[in-house]
Structures are given as structure tokens and as C-alpha cells.
Structure 1
């Protein structure tokens, strides 16, 4: 009978079993139903990415009834609110670009699904959905109906316990066993031993070698065939095609040699080739795993959260020092770093980090609150349920909602080279084979295979990601935490640096404070201290620490107006703190000092005057940066310290004062319209818009659990004087990429020269291939570490001399 293939899943079907719908053949009603679903929802371009990309839907009647249990569902969910649930599911059937496309368009299949993000390497999808429109059970059944049945087990409750995939190790073991034994059995051929060998054992040993070569051919190298076949079906040419072709050519040629009694063939070279290529793949896999581990482990945010000790004292601690059962204090605009139980009477939580929607959700005492929310309003207390999940915080920070539209020049170079590499390589191999076949048949096959193997662009493709990954790790060790590798490229292109003043070039820890106005009595100081307790502005935090300790009071209302001040109701008293314009008091006096004005129950009391202390090494930093960058100080304060800054900072530094948050953003836009690449350095509070608008937004962290989701990097305040070093290091990272590109291309040119001239055996090419990867990885590691040490010591020396 005629055989056909299912339009959806590609399985072979007999004529008698075929189901025809719209002139398309399907193997079962499940595949036909999936096609109908896609067609009804205008999603049939799913099939344009790849022919027959789907999986056959399974019969799931009653299989997921356990998902009606609220306790089990609660354990599976990452986030659970009235109108938004978020779940991450492992989908084993994810395998190609079509899968990514259809899963990220799930919202078209059901209105209750908000968004879906696919993690292709982990075969996971993170889905946001409205439980009032679609339950988790219905969502899972929908995934099953389109051929993406999730794998749900007890490990989903207990955290990340991934099964170790040892398939590559097994393949290497099989290839090595066959390679070793084939070489051992080939010794008589190697040494041209005659006598008994010719008459009795030669044929037997040759066929034994043939059968020993089959496991590496059919099992160990299977990944190359599958990848090559998928590439061909998708009408693309990837690097697996020449590798698979080289292996097959060597096997066919060797089989012909044995059958025709021309010799023993190249089975030893073929098995050695597979073994060394798989070894190179293992090394590359370990390299990426190493980078991923370092990134996860080192990229804890350098932010602190206030912990309340059993005796009631408040102390800032690093987020990763938080443990289950700890009691935390969360102020206005602070990020909630862990899941916990709300202890305070009520709270308003902004979950835009998680959902992308900045609509505050009301919570009452005893409710569960989730990591990633931002507290709005008066200070709250919570009890920790779980220790900090750094990977979850990183995921929130990298949410697509807050991503800037960056493009990687070096990724584009790699993609462009790889795109033309394979067809050029195949053409060169065929031309060389055509030339040598008329001169020497053995050499022709050797040349053909060696060319296909030696010119693998693996090292070329590894250059940029490994260099930038290693630089990310080194910067993390020096307490600069970047969102992703592309930020390094953006930093290398910066030509203008804009600094905020308060909390950025000034430090909150050393600011001298004096009071001017009517003396405040103990009751008024008590009201003032409790008002400031909920604010996160640098001046508020410094003043809170300056005032004497007071008993806690009940704050019934709290409002912080960005860039202006704070209004609160404490035990029935109205307290107002902030600028003179916010209090509608007199304009700033002629001295133009940085002040926080105080008003209690509508009566103006006076003001606290801040004599700003600038960060250590500021003058040396600006002096060094002025040689390569245009510098700007952009402040929301008045220009009372203009003369001080003009004296401290190098000539040519632009000083711009009285800038509200929206004015800062407009200023950055104006610079960019002039063609400038701008880096904004701020404290993440009043600078959120400017940080988001800039090419690179750097948030300074100083014992405050606040940063803008739009910032590209977080710098520990203690490392402020090293900004120049970080920028120069980013430029050096780009130099390393170009140098390693050159080395990789040189390797390919030299290797191909030897291969084309017939002076390179296929097995030697297979050994050289992983060695080239090792060379590139070693080079970029050594160079990035060397540049880090060199620039670090120069920076330390500069700061020391300036001091």
C-alpha cells in the first residue's frame, strides 16, 4: 500500500488509516483536531517554520484530575493572585522554532491566557493566566490537545531537582570502546604483517571491525544526523550537515573497501572522529554549564533589606542572608525579596515586576505576599516563608516587559559568518574532492572528509558568548551586576556619562546635618521619626538614622511624592516633609543649601540642612573620565553647591540643577537625539525614567532594597570610584572578542590549507577541532583575567595618588 506522512506530526501512515481534511492527510483525530484549532485561530503559519513540526496528542481523560486540588495547585504555582496565576511547566516535546512560536501565541487559543515565555534549552514555558477564565487543569489539557503534554511530578513541589542527562557520556563511551578495539584489531594492517594473517584471519578481522563500527555510526553519531535532517527540512544549512556527511562518506567508502578487498577502510578514523567530536561537544557543554553556574551564583543583587531582630532593633542585611522565619521591614518602593506572610494590618503591593501591570493589589494581615512585589505606601512588616531564590529575582529583573531593544553587533557577525560558512565549506569540499579523485582516490576521500571536519566554526560561535560570560563573572566578583551580556557591548560604546547628585555622587553615610527653625519637642521628634521610617529617599534614610531612637507609632496614611516629599498621618497628626515648594512655604533662601522642610499639623517648624559629603575618589574618577567622556551632573536639587562642584570637578563638566524626574528623562532624550550614547548613573529612586531611557542605566546600591526594573546594572556603592575601570574593561572585552575572532578564522584558514593539499588525515582533523575550542576558551579566559588585573591595579593606584 502507498505510504503517506501526517501533515501535523509527520508520522508515516498507511492508506487505509488516513484521515483527510482540507486535502491534508492526518494519522489520527488528535492531529486533525490540532490543525482545526490552529486554523480556527489563524495560527496555521505554525507549519511554515518546519514541515510536520507537531507531536501526536495523547489521550488524557482523567489524567490531570488531581489539578482540581487547591493544595497541589498552590504548590505548583509561582505566583497566585485573584486575577493572575503564573506557572512554569516542563514540556518534553519542545524541539524547534515552531514549538516556540505556537507556545508564545497560546493567548490566541484562549482569552484567559495572558502571556507565555519559552525557555528553549530547559524545555520550559512560563505561563501567566487568569484563573477566573481558565483553570490550571484546563490549561494543561489545552497544552495536551495541541501535542505539548507537560511533565508534572512531585519534584515540581520540592524545587529544582533535574535529572542528569548522561546520554552524551554513554555515546562517548561507546565510541571510545569501538575506537580502541578497532585500532587494536588493525595492528596487523598497520604493520603490514603477512604470513597467517593473509590466509586465515584478515577477512574475519575486517568484518569484525565493520560490525564494531556500527554502534558509533548508528548510536554515538545519531545526534548529528537528526540535527542535519531537521536543518535540511527547515531549508537551512547548519554545521551538523558537513559533519554528518563526512561520517557517512567515510563509512560508505570503508565498506566498499572491505567488500571489494581494497583494504580495511577508514573505520578506525571514523570512530576516532566521532569520539573526539563528542569529546569536544562535552567540553563545550561543560563550558556553558560553568558560565551558567557562575552567573547564577555570583549575580546576587547587592541590595539589602531591613531585618527586625527579636529585641526590635532594625539592621540592614544582604538579601541572601535572609532565612525562613525572619521578620523583615519593607518601606515604600522597596522590593519584596522573598515569599512571606504579611504581619502588618494591610498593604498595597505593586506586582508589575511579575505581571507587567502596575495595578496595586490590596493585602491584609495574614495574607501571603510574593517575591518581586513592590511595597507602596507606609512601612510594613512580614515574616519570611522561604529563603531568597536568586534565580527567581534574576528572572524578574530580566522580565521581557522591562527589556530594552538592544542588538548585539557581535552576535550578528557570528550569525552572518555561520550562515555562509556551511555552503562555502560544502562547495570547497566538493571541488577539492573532484580535483583529487583523478589523482589519488584514497587522498580524495581523506581530503573531502578532513575539510568537512577541520573547518567546524564551533570555536567561532563560542567566542562572543564565552568572552562576555567570563567578563560578567569577573564584574560580578567586583560588585557590578549586569542584567545580561549585551550591556557590556553597550558600555563599550558609551561616550557621555550623566550622574545624579543626591545619593549617587554624594554619600548618605557621612552627611552632616543641622537644624534651622523652631525647636522640636520630644513628641514632634517622635512623629517625625515614624514618618521617615517608611521612606526610601536618600535624604529620608540619612535623617532617619540621624534622629534619636523612638517608640513605634501607628501610621494610618503614608504618601511619598517622587522628587518632592512625604506626607503622613501619625496617631492623628499630619506630618509633611520635603522641599519648600511641596510644603508651599517660602522659596529657598539665598544660601541655596540642600534642605528637608518640616510641617506638623499645618504649622511650619523649620528645616534640616544637609552639608553633602561627596564620595571618596570622586575627583580622581571625574578627572580620569573627562579624558574620554562628556560628563554631566544632573540634579533635582538647587544649585547651591555649584561653586563647590565647579572647583572639585574638571572643566567641561556640565552641571544642571532643579531637574524633576520628567526633566531628567527629557535631558537624556535630547542627548541621544544629538547622537550620543548615554550612560545614566543614579540611585534608582527618582531616576527610573532616565535610567530606562539611557543606553546604559546603572543603579547605585547603598544598603537600600530599591532598584529600577529598567536599570541595566546594579553597582555596590563601595565600588563607585571604579566606574572608569568598568567602562575601560568593557572596551577591552570587545578587543578580546575581535582578537579571538581573528584566531578562530586563522585556525580555519591554516587547517583548510593542510586539508585541501591532502596533508591532514580526518582523525587528526577530529582531534584538532576540540583543541581549537580549548584554545579559544583558554585565550579569552586568560586575556579577560589579565585585563581585569591590569586595569584594577591601575585604578587603585590612581585613587591612592589622588588621595
Structure 2
């Protein structure tokens, strides 16, 4: 080492008014604990990690690292991981890219990166490991790009080297895509801002020119303002307006007519003609209309792009549904790793109240699992050793150890979300039809403009070019393009005010006429939470039940607490929780048990005649509801039926939809008996209340029903997401999972099903407004084109008429009666909380 390096990296003692003399670590320069100071050693270290890193750098001649004025701000704490999962074929398929010559490349997120010294050190990894060809670090994103020869070194060995240096690596994905999107959005917003600023200044110059024409402005000032307008117009074309010329050129190269083509021709013709008139000092210049046109079109394009991304994002929702990290068990120790690094064969440690990060088999423990996210089953199911559990589902009661079978993109939930994405893509024919119509419109406009110019030029008409430009401007697709989206925008805005979030006009159009409406049960027809539906027993038992359930996180315990929120609870002695059974304890000298019938029956010594008769009569408990029995001192004294309550307005809303021509079907993953009972109570016909349907079966049912007509799917969970995406219109209800929200065409923020009635009625009214707007736009284009072709319309008049037509469409949409504004304040006496259960109290 050099003298300077030794001064920086050696044993340094410094005086400090607060801590006195301190020994600093030779690697990270942090104080060394007194217990780690070795008096005879040349260098001192705050931890073994720093000692190891220092030795590696010194051994490979990388002492220049200590010449940086700023180095690590924390000790090196190597995790000690083997990183064997980085060598697994599944990991390679997800994160490793093959390069020419048999080389490999990957991107890794590194912990602990903060300064230039980190960059220097990471990029010296090729000097530490034979076979590593390149290592580059983006310090801002902590992103390391590594290239290596897999025949010489494994990725796990490279990862261990980075870990020893104090930069634990993790798989890196998704961030690059997000950064790209942010850059695109930022660039578009900058274009919109610049075009808007130019348009405003252009209007000020145009206002001066228009006022000058009326009041006889001096020719010098007129000439000045015309050149100012031209100077403002050029940057508007060069930057914000360039996107239209790019699209037009792509249309020409691919030989497919696109709406950008007539826009680009009109803009170019207007600019050329305006420039000529500016130079010659004669004729109109059109620059104000062109600037406003660029600004309006850019705003519309930005909103369209943002909407089109929603369906494409469905596959990324796996990260929101499944946990981002997981605990794995290795050689008796538990450590946390990113969920992306999970591989088959690993053992997960999943505690009560946590979500499973992968599909797997239970190898230790027993518990109950809430799988409503995937299956729609409202009641938690018991699981034990040897049984399957799935990513995204909830471990309710007790810790489990699970051997990973499928993780990440191969898990069941990921496959469902992939089906969601595929179903969304199959809607492309609608877009293709719109593109064909746009192509026809574009072709007609171009032919008419060319014919107008050619015919008039052959007769040496003085205004042949002006008439062609007027035709291109007056038939600009603004009015026709606004006819539908503006009516939809107003309708969507007003619907949002009424608690209905609508993503697109195709949903409104499809909902305007009746078809088949398919409903999920759990969380859609019902409230989606466990509640006390039936109670059989005396009231004096209820405080005892609450006392035992007070500390439990089980959904059944929450159901009891919601049903009896004002009851006091006595003290419990020797409370015990039996996994898969229930709770027991001593209350006021009595031994009380609350739980499953089998658990309670194990301690029974007697059952009163009243309870025996009640057990025979209450056949719903145990068949369509989850039974909970209560015993006191070995005698069965009460029982409860826990279930998912039907929404209060469900029957009224369903009857109204049926009266309006909709065919209704109940399709649920819940138990067949439960679904059949709910279906009968809500008036579903025979064969239209289907239970036990898996997510895959729901998707198949929707696909089959679509062959016979229009289908609307209403649901709330990931188990419904694929069916929602496959339906002609998907509707997500309040409380649904994020995947359902992202894939649904409509999302209801209200819990009442009457919103569906308002949605279908409002869609029908919106369609009438759209048809009226289209008729007005077509009439305007026909009249305007005719006037331009016959020389009755100058480019200036066309520029004035173009926004006038748009204003007509705006007014027609704004004052069209689609979704009326409503006061969303709940009426007095409405039930917004859990309704009181049906209670049958039996004398003790």
C-alpha cells in the first residue's frame, strides 16, 4: 500500500469532544467496537464483513478504493447466502439473457449502493472473479448489469462476491419498463405544454390581426404580427407537431391509411400556404387554427395512450396480490428473500395472518386457509400436511411450513392473470374495425381534396390550392372524433360522481341493450365478509363467546364482534386455542368451549332437549352456513351459523334488471348448496344458480355464453378476473382485488347493486347522445366539404367553422341526459353496517 492509502485505510485514532479517542474501521471508517480491537493488528475492523472485504481488495490489488473521499456509510454485513437459486433453470429463464458466443447477461438490484466508490468497486468485479467479462452499475437505480461466461463461473459465485463486498444482489425486473413509461409520459406532457403555450401566444397575435382588419391597422404592424405568428408556428411544427408527421410517414411506408395522414397534409399545406402568404404579405395565414389543432390533438392522444395501458398492466398485478418477500427455512434457520427468488423445492415459513408467496404443499403444521381470492369459497378451509396451498391465499390460524412447487409466473394466480391479459387482447377486432372505418374516412377526404385541386387547377382557377386546403381543414376529424369520446367523457365523469368508474365507450355501448348478466356470489351478491347469520341459544352465553374470541384474528371471531359490538366481556382464565378446532377457557368458574361441532362434541356430557330439537330444525346450519357450537361445563347450550350475508338491495336490483330484458345467472366458486339456497332466495331460475365453479370453469362458461350473445360478468376477486376480462363487459364491485379493478371495464365504488340498474339505464341514454353527435358531425362534414369544393369556403372560414362544429358537439354532449347528477348521501335509516342476524333465543 502507498503511504496515503495506509493513512486512509489503516488504524486511525482521532480525538472527538464527545467520544474521545476512537478507532476507525480500515474499510468503512466507522468506529470499531472496543471488544473487536486487536492491539497487535496493523488494521482494525468493525465487523468480519469489513475484514473480509478489505482482504479481498488487498489481495487483488484494488487498494485504490481507499483513495475515495466518500466510501460506504455502513459496515459490510454479508448475508452468508449461497445464492444457489441463481443457478436454477427457472431463474435463468426469467432473468438471464443469452448472448452470442455462449455468454450470459443479467440485471441485478444491489443493496447498499450510494456513491461513486460503490460504482468503482462493483465494476472491478471482473478482476475478482475469472469468467466475469463486464460489470456496470447505475448508482441512481442501484442496477448492476453483469456479463459472464457460464462455462467458467456460475451466477451464484458472482452473487456471493457482490454479497461479500457488501452489496447483496436481487433479481431486477419491472423498473426499466416503468422508467420507460415515465419518460414517454414526460415527453408527451412537455409537448402538450409547449404546444399550449404557443397556441395561447398565437391567439394573442391573431387577436391583434383580427382587430386590425376591422379598424385599419397600419401595414407595418400587420406585417410584424404575421411574422410573429410564423415564428411561433415553426417550433410548434418542429417539436410538438412532429408526432403527426411521424405517424403520417409510417402510414405511407406501411401502405395503410391512418388518421394522421390527412392531419399531417392539412398541417403541412396550411404551414406552406401561410408561409407564402406571410412572405408575400397577402392572404390568410391560418396559424392560430393550426396551433390550436396541434394542442387539442396532442391532449386527446395522451389520454388515449394512458387508457390503453390498463389492460396491458394486468400481468404486473401479481406483485400487488402476492407478497413481495418470503421467509425460507434453510438448515434450521429462517431468512427473508425476495419473492422473485423463490424456486421449487424451497421451504416457506408462513405465519398466521400472512399470504402465501407461492404454490406448494404443506410439510409441517395445520391451519385454515381463506382461498376466496382464488376460489370464491366464503368459508375458510382446513389444511394439513400433504395438502396444496396457493399463492395469494391467506393463512388464517396457525404457522405453516410449505414446500414450494410453483412460484412467480408459474403459480396458479400468475396463470390466471395471464389468461386475463390474453382475454383483453382478444378485444382487438373492435380496434381493427375502428381503424378500417378511419381508413375509409381518410381515403375519401384525400380523394376529394386531390380531385378539388386537380380539377380546378386544370381550369386555371386562382383559388384551387386554397379550396383544397379549406377542404382538408373543414373535414379535419376533430368534430367526428369528438362526437363519441366527448359524449363518453361526460357520461363517464357523471357516472364517476355516482360511484361508477367506467373505462371506455365500448362498455357503455354494450350495456345499452340487454343480454346475459352473470354474477359472482361472494362479495358481489353478498357482502363478502363472515357475519353471524343465525344464533340459537340464550343471551347470557353471548358475552362468554365474545370473551373467548376477543384475541382471535379468525374471520369467525370478527363476525361475532361485529354482531355484538356493545356487549361487555368477562375475564377468561386458562384460554387455549386448538388449531382447526376452536377456543376454550374458564369464565366465572365455568368451562366454556366455542368452535367446530366436532371440537365441542369431544367434551360434551349432555345436550338439552331444546338444543336437540333445534339441531334437527336448523338444517341450514352445517349445510349452507358454517356451524359454531358453544358448550358450558360439558353441556351444549348454543349454536351459531356464520355465513356471508346477501346485500339488502340485491333482490330489487335483480328484479329490475330482469324487467329490463336482462337474463341473470349466478356463477360462484362457493359450495353448491350455498349457491343454490342464495339463488332461490333471489329469484334465479332453475339451472341459473351454479356453484362449485373454479376460475377456469368460470372462464369457460363465459366463453361459451359469448357464442350465443352479449355477456356481462360482475365479480370482485382474482377468481373472477379472467372471466371479467373474457366477457364483453366486465364489472368489478366494491372491495374487489386490484386485478379485478384493473381488468374490469366498469368498477363500482358503491356497495349497492342498484348501481347496476343506473349503469344500464345511463348507458342507454349515452348511446342516444352519441348517435345524435355523430349525425351532427356527418352533416357538418358533408355541408362543409361541399362548400369547399364549390369555392364557397376560404381556408380562414374553414378554420373558423372547424372549432364551431366541435363546440356544437361539446354542447350536445354536455347537455345530453346520460347520467343525472345525484346526491350520494345515504337516506335516513338506510343500513350501511352489518344488519342484525336472525336470532332465536332459547330459554336456558
Question: TM-score per shorter chain, which class?
Answer: 0.5 to 0.7
SS in 2 for 1:787: coil
SS in 1 for 2:138: helix
**Preserved CA contact (<8 Å) 2:466 2:795:** yes
Q: Which residue in 2 is equivalent to 1:246?
A: 269
Determine the C-alpha separation between the residues in 2 that align with 1:646 and 1:409. 39
* Aligned match for 2:534, one of 488, 509, 513: 513
Greater displacement, 627-636 / 447-456: 627-636
* Matched ranges for 1:132-211 at <5 A: 137=138, 166-173=193-200, 175-176=202-203, 179=206, 211=227
Give the C-alpha shift of residue 495 in structure 1. Answer: 1.5
Structure 1 residues 510 and 377, CA gap change in structure 2 (3 angstroms): closer
Q: Which residue in 2 is equivalent to 1:219?
A: 235
Determine the C-alpha separation between the residues in 1 that align with 2:321 and 2:699. 30
Does 2:481 match 1:461? yes
Q: Deviations over 1:597-638 (max 9, x none)?
A: 34899x997852259864334333222211311122345356
Paired residues, what number? 574
Give the C-alpha shift of residue 752 in structure 1. Answer: 0.4
Structure 1 residues 243 and 288, CA gap change in structure 2 (3 angstroms): closer
Does 2:410 match 1:377? no
**Preserved CA contact (<8 Å) 2:626 2:643:** no
Structure 1 residues 114 and 247, CA gap change in structure 2 (3 angstroms): farther
* Matched ranges for 1:574-589 at <5 A: none
TM-score by length of 1: 0.54
Greater displacement, 653-662 / 413-422: 653-662
Give the C-alpha shift of residue 534 in structure 1. Answer: 4.0
* Matched ranges for 1:154-553 at <5 A: 166-173=193-200, 175-176=202-203, 179=206, 211=227, 214-216=230-232, 218-222=234-238, 223-224=240-241, 227-228=244-245, 231-232=248-249, 235=253, 238=260, 239-251=262-274, 254=277, 258=280, 264-266=281-283, 269-270=284-285, 273-283=286-296, 376-378=394-396, 402-403=420-421, 404-405=423-424, 406-407=426-427, 411-439=431-459, 441-482=461-502, 486-489=506-509, 491-492=511-512, 495-501=515-521, 503-507=523-527, 512-515=533-536, 528=549, 530-531=551-552, 533-535=553-555, 541-546=558-563
Q: Deviations over 1:443-501 (max 9, x none)?
A: 32321221121111123333444333433332322223346655445544761123344
Q: Which residue in 1 is equivalent to 2:819?
A: 788
Q: Deviations over 1:553-605 (max 9, x none)?
A: 999998xxxxxxx778999x99975999xx9xx9998834532134899x997
SS in 1 for 2:439: helix
**Preserved CA contact (<8 Å) 2:420 2:726:** no
**Preserved CA contact (<8 Å) 2:269 2:469:** yes
Q: Which residue in 1 is equivalent to 2:626?
A: 596
Structure 1 residues 160 and 728, CA gap change in structure 2 (3 angstroms): same
**Preserved CA contact (<8 Å) 2:702 2:711:** no
* Aligned match for 2:654, one of 622, 625, 644: 622
Q: Deviations over 1:766-801 (max 9, x none)?
A: 122223233323322332xx12129999xx9xx9xx
SS in 2 for 1:777: helix
Structure 1 residues 607 and 557, CA gap change in structure 2 (3 angstroms): closer
Determine the C-alpha separation between the residues in 2 that align with 1:213 and 1:673. 56
Determine the C-alpha separation between the residues in 1 that align with 2:336 and 2:583. 17
Q: Deviations over 1:685-709 (max 9, x none)?
A: 8756655654444344369999676
Structure 1 residues 738 and 407, CA gap change in structure 2 (3 angstroms): farther
Structure 1 residues 546 and 693, CA gap change in structure 2 (3 angstroms): farther
Determine the C-alpha separation between the residues in 1 that align with 2:598 and 2:721. 20
Determine the C-alpha separation between the residues in 2 that align with 1:595 and 1:462. 53
Give the C-alpha shift of residue 249 in structure 1. Answer: 4.7
Structure 1 residues 250 and 481, CA gap change in structure 2 (3 angstroms): closer
**Preserved CA contact (<8 Å) 1:740 1:776:** yes
**Runs (5+) with no aligned partner, structure 2:** 1-67, 75-84, 87-94, 110-131, 147-174, 310-317, 328-333, 358-372, 374-390, 399-413, 586-591, 603-611, 831-844
Give the C-alpha shift of residue 641 in structure 1. Answer: 9.3
**Preserved CA contact (<8 Å) 1:378 1:534:** yes
**Preserved CA contact (<8 Å) 1:347 1:363:** no
SS in 1 for 2:812: helix
Q: Deviations over 1:288-321 (max 9, x none)?
A: 889999999xxxxxxxxxxxxxxxxxxxxxxxxx
SS in 2 for 1:633: strand
SS in 2 for 1:789: coil
Q: Deviations over 1:72-126 (max 9, x none)?
A: xxxxxxxxxx99xxxxxxxxxxxxxxxxxxxxx99788853699xxxxxxxxxxx
Structure 1 residues 224 and 718, CA gap change in structure 2 (3 angstroms): closer
Q: Which residue in 2 is equivalent to 1:728?
A: 761
Does 2:801 match 1:771? no
**Preserved CA contact (<8 Å) 2:478 2:806:** yes
* Matched ranges for 1:666-685 at <5 A: 668-669=701-702, 671-672=704-705, 675-684=708-717
**Preserved CA contact (<8 Å) 1:107 1:113:** no
Structure 1 residues 661 and 437, CA gap change in structure 2 (3 angstroms): closer
TM-score by length of 2: 0.52
**Runs (5+) with no aligned partner, structure 1:** 1-64, 72-81, 84-104, 116-131, 192-200, 259-263, 297-332, 381-395, 559-565
**Preserved CA contact (<8 Å) 2:649 2:752:** no
SS in 1 for 2:562: helix
Structure 1 residues 592 and 568, CA gap change in structure 2 (3 angstroms): closer
Determine the C-alpha separation between the residues in 2 that align with 1:417 and 1:67. 63
**Preserved CA contact (<8 Å) 1:725 1:792:** no
Q: Which residue in 2 is equivalent to 1:310?
A: none
Q: Which has the larger radius of gyration?
A: 2
Determine the C-alpha separation between the residues in 1 that align with 2:598 and 2:728. 31
SS in 2 for 1:441: coil
**Preserved CA contact (<8 Å) 1:576 1:599:** yes
Structure 1 residues 577 and 590, CA gap change in structure 2 (3 angstroms): closer
Determine the C-alpha separation between the residues in 1 that align with 2:224 and 2:665. 77
Q: Which residue in 1 is equivalent to 2:54?
A: none
Structure 1 residues 610 and 478, CA gap change in structure 2 (3 angstroms): same
SS in 2 for 1:514: strand
Give the C-alpha shift of residue 726 in structure 1. Answer: 0.9
Determine the C-alpha separation between the residues in 1 that align with 2:453 and 2:789. 9
Structure 1 residues 746 and 481, CA gap change in structure 2 (3 angstroms): same
Determine the C-alpha separation between the residues in 1 that align with 2:545 and 2:432. 62
**Preserved CA contact (<8 Å) 1:172 1:279:** yes
SS in 2 for 1:475: helix
Structure 1 residues 170 and 336, CA gap change in structure 2 (3 angstroms): same
Determine the C-alpha separation between the residues in 1 that align with 2:734 and 2:278. 67
Determine the C-alpha separation between the residues in 2 that align with 1:414 and 1:136. 46
Structure 1 residues 502 and 214, CA gap change in structure 2 (3 angstroms): closer
